[in-house]
Chains A and B, each alone.
Chain A
Amino acid sequence: MSQFRWIGKPLPRIDAKQKVTGAVRYVTDMAFPDMLWGAVLRSKYPHALIKSIDVSKAKEKSGVIDVLTYEDVPGLNAFGIITQDQPVLCQEKVRFMGDAVAYVLAEDKRTAYEALDLIEVDYEPLPVVSDMEEAIKNTTKVHKDGNVLEHVVITKGNVAEAFESCDLVVEETYYTPRQMHTFLETEGGVATIDEDGIITVFSSSQYPNRDIIQIARSLAYPEDKIHVVGHPIGGGFGGKDEITTQILLALGTLKTGRPVKTVWDREESVIAGQKRLPLKITLKTGVTKDGRLIANQCRVVADTGPYNALGSAVMKLALEHACGPYYVPNTYLEGYCVYTNNTLGSAFRGFGATQATFAIERQLDLISKKLGIDPLEIRIKNALQNNQSAGLGHLPAPSVGIADTLNQLKKHDLWVNKEEYLKTDVPYLKRAIGIACSHQGCGLGSFFPDYGSADIRLLPDGSFNVKVGCPDIGQGNATAFAQIAAEVLHTDPDNIHVEIGDSRTSPDSGSTSASRSIYTGGNAIVISGRKVKALLLAEASRALGVAPDLLQFGVNNISTKDGDRSITYKEIASNVAGRKGTIRYTSRFDWPTSELEFNEALGLPHYVFSYISEMALVEVNELTGEARVLKAVVSPDAGRIINIQGLEGQAEGGTVMGMGFALMEDVILDEGQYLTRDLSTYIIPTALDIPEMDTVPVEALESTGPFGAKGIGEAVCNPITPAVINAICDVLDINITKLPATPEMVYNLAHKKIS
């Protein structure tokens, strides 16, 4: 019998009914009377100087209300979470095909798009920077200060000496593709302005409160007159963390006084939207002959494309995760984040750890093969333990569950009976089981303010209003918030009314990103909930004339310990209202951070980590190079499980997303031009591609987390990629170093046509 009434239960999502009936209005479903459509003119070249922009013909077109250019941006014509280097509307230069040059505001969508063709822009094309190593040389500069946005070196121990003592050193270079978030709802929204000049932006957003700062800065407009609603949203995965349409929407409504709607079509989303940064990762890894990791040297080059967005932070997290969830006493971690004229690289679920996991987990398999050590055993042998330092040299929070997750795999039927699973009846179909581990730093790391807040109020009917800033971007954090609040407040989730993702009504709790929302929002709810409980108890004591220590909480009521008398929450609410009082508390929760900080690498290190291991049964067709993932067993350590159904949903969805990263997904460019433009050329897994999946979690409780919970939204898409690739390499005795491992690539490697 669980010690909890609600924590851990597979409670159906609180928003599910609204979603299955089509009743929920996503931000891109919003419409207002008299609404204009805003269409963006994108660049014609990946890299060019703008000589002139002539919008006069477009403005003359019937139905066009206005055409905005850089001259119409009242404030800072730049945005960016870390570095404000991306123009709202380009003035002197374009740096990738997705750059915004003009914004047409018209009575309807068709008129707006037709008017784009009437805008005349005179460009002077420049040489294209498409190779990240070339970018470092600064032969052609994407930005005037040069192409190296950030260069970081972090060391622990002494790798040079350590390599001398190693029995085996393995060095390899890995390349990861431009994975696209492919949320089903593209970027978009609607903005309105009222007679008091209050601008309201309904736009897909993972952090409405930060959007306000960016909008205000570019519009030179007071922050308190901007209101952002970022929810409900049709998927985020990191791609809606940075600004997409928010500033242009706000500018459009400010200029015209009318509601403005913009939703990118799929092609525009492919071209202008953010992508997972392609990384080149070189690892030199040294071990003893019994397979113990001694040293790991890493060099990462990250292609953030034309602007920073969150690219430099992604590069740093790749370094942080480049040693895997293993103890490695000597490390040398060097990273470059460079500008190019390719896709806009930024946050994507896994945030650098995904890319790094592929590299280090391939290294582990190369080592295990060379030393003849079982791939599961070599991982168990090196698994990080509590009180061992991580790759950056700091001590993570002592809730390190990686060894436990590996032991879950070890006792799973797929591993125990693997000989049975590896059999096939067809001679050209060969099977193998691949294994990989990963971990993921939760939260924003050191230096950056990382906080949350929950506003809990008792309502007249005895139910509670719970407000937290973090939007629900699909993963179900709102349902988890309801469960946590119900548990703390001794009530049912039906009595919890969760409000999230609205900058005006819900308190700032930071972004829904970085595996942080359940930990942050949950902690804030626990703090507020305990205060509200104390207030309820005091009211019950007053009403019943009994000392608080003689009272106990029931469900929606408080009674004397002998059970003789009780008072319901509703009666308490009535008593309080009679005195014109309220029972309400707004908390503030601040993340704990590591004692170690790096002034030269802000944001590193993280303190709380989630851990995960996964194994995949893969069948490879030797004749075609096609790989099918038949089974996947995933063991996540998210600390305390808040909702087991939600955790399984994350594990399954993350596994399939990581499988796509391994086998099929890439936005292909040629000198900055997009060869991939839609969902017929960018393929993601369908229901016919997925493996049978089994989730076998462990709970390494995190003492600083709500009921012991950590975050898990990102780690779930990391280990499956190398697990699948390791299996393919094992079957065909090949070495895959570049993703995605398409059938053509696998076939050619197997037939030694490419090295």
Chain B
Amino acid sequence: MNKITVNFVLNEEPQSITVEPNLTLLEVIRDVLDLTGTKEGCGQGECGACTVLLDNAPVNSCLVLISQVEGKKVTTIEGLSKDGELDILQQKFIEAGAVQCGYCTPGMILAAKSLLLQNSKPTEEEIRKAISGNLCRCTGYTKIIKAVKGASGQTEEVI
């Protein structure tokens, strides 16, 4: 199979990669670039564990072919904290106890990040809807919702 070259920006760094065209964005992130913070939970766009931001919109990276990211901006969980400083969502997830096994956490945080980028003060219903494509089997979601609320500045204290 002929390889293709794809140019995109990953976590604010320009990337130019030459790969087989049938690779998904998820496969490139995990297997080619060795960024394993992005998880595969189903490979069919059902669970949201592989959520990354594509031009700030959440996508299931298992459903995105690598050629589709040409010229676009991709953000993975590794790109969310800057110079060791955690994003407010990451801080609130820790404080609220929104993490258990943690396997859904990167995708969940990125889905919430996209929401807050568009809507800095979402309602609880808007939060629930924004993360409804991200399955979590451990937490029962309550503390995740609380963390997102905390990050949106709606509550003073999350604990």
Interface residues of A (CB under 8 A from B): 10, 12-13, 15-26, 29, 31, 181-186, 232-237, 263, 265-266, 473-476, 645-646, 648-649, 652-657, 678-680, 684-688, 690, 693
Contact = CB atoms under 8 A, between A and B. Distances in A.
A19 B135 contact: no
A555 B49 CA distance: 42
B138 A235 contact: yes
Contacts of A235: 101, 103, 137-138
**Most central of B78, B90, B93, B142 by chain A CB within 10 Å:** B142
Contact of A17 (B30, B86, B131, B143): B86
B54 to A, nearest CB: 17
A693 B140 contact: yes
A17 B94 contact: yes
B140 A20 contact: no
Contact of A185 (B86, B103, B106, B140): B103
Nearest to A263: B40
Contact of A684 (B81, B90, B127, B135): B135
Given A184-B41, A185-B41, A234-B101, A645 B159 contact: yes
Nearest to B97: A645
Contacts of B78: 21-23
A71 B51 CA distance: 42
Shortest 3 CB-CB distances between A and B: which pairs? A22-B37, A474-B101, A234-B103
Interface residues of B, number: 54
B42 A684 contact: no
Given A687-B145, A688-B128, A20 B139 contact: no
B68 interface: no
A357 to B, nearest CB: 18
Contacts of B97: 10, 12-13, 645-646, 648-649
B101 A185 contact: yes
A293 to B, nearest CB: 32
Contacts of A476: 100
B154 interface: no
Given A16-B93, A16-B94, A648-B97, A22 B135 contact: no
A276 to B, nearest CB: 13
A16 B97 CA distance: 8
Contact of B132 (A13, A233, A686): A686
A313 B142 CA distance: 33
A186 B103 CA distance: 10
Contacts of B101: 183-185, 233-236, 473-474
A28 B106 CA distance: 15
B137 A652 contact: no
B101 to A, nearest CB: 3
A20 B135 contact: no
A232 B36 CA distance: 13
A679 B61 CA distance: 17
B70 interface: no
Given A20-B105, A475-B100, A234 B135 contact: no
Interface in B119-142: 127-129, 131-142
Contacts of A232: 102
A649 B138 contact: yes
**Most central of A29, A236, A265 by chain B CB within 10 Å:** A29
Contacts of B30: 29
B1 to A, nearest CB: 10
Contacts of A657: 137, 140
A167 B141 CA distance: 45
23 contacts: A17-B86, A21-B90, A22-B36, A22-B38, A23-B78, A24-B102, A29-B30, A183-B101, A184-B39, A185-B41, A234-B101, A234-B102, A266-B43, A649-B97, A649-B143, A652-B139, A652-B140, A653-B138, A654-B140, A679-B42, A687-B132, A687-B145, A688-B129
A337 B77 CA distance: 46
A476 B95 CA distance: 14
Given A184-B41, A653-B138, A693-B140, A26 B47 contact: no
Given A21-B90, A652-B142, A687-B134, 4 more contacts: A266-B46, A649-B100, A679-B44, A690-B141
Contacts of B37: 21-23
Nearest to B104: A184
A755 B145 CA distance: 40
A19 B131 contact: no
Nearest to B49: A184
A685 B80 CA distance: 28
Contacts of A685: 141
Given A13-B97, A29-B36, A183-B103, A474 B138 contact: yes
A234 B129 CA distance: 24
B137 A690 contact: no
B76 interface: yes
B34 interface: yes
A232 B39 CA distance: 14
Contact of B143 (A183, A652, A679, A686): A652
B28 interface: no
Given A22-B106, A184-B103, A476-B100, A31 B34 contact: yes
A95 B86 CA distance: 50
Given A17-B86, A20-B90, A21-B86, A656 B102 contact: no
A648 B143 contact: yes
**Most central of B40, B97, B136, B159 by chain A CB within 10 Å:** B97
A20 B38 CA distance: 11
A657 B139 CA distance: 9
B59 interface: no
Contact of B136 (A181, A184, A263): A184
Given A235-B138, A679-B47, A19 B105 contact: yes
B35 interface: yes
A200 B83 CA distance: 35
Nearest to A13: B99
B26 interface: no
B140 A655 contact: yes
A16 B38 contact: no
B109 interface: yes
Nearest to A658: B140
B93 A237 contact: no
B135 A686 contact: yes
A653 B102 CA distance: 13
B144 interface: yes
Contacts of A185: 39, 41, 101, 103
Nearest to B147: A20
Contacts of A655: 140
Contacts of B133: 686
A653 B94 contact: no
Nearest to B42: A266
A234 B39 CA distance: 10
A680 B36 CA distance: 25
Contacts of A233: 101
B152 to A, nearest CB: 15
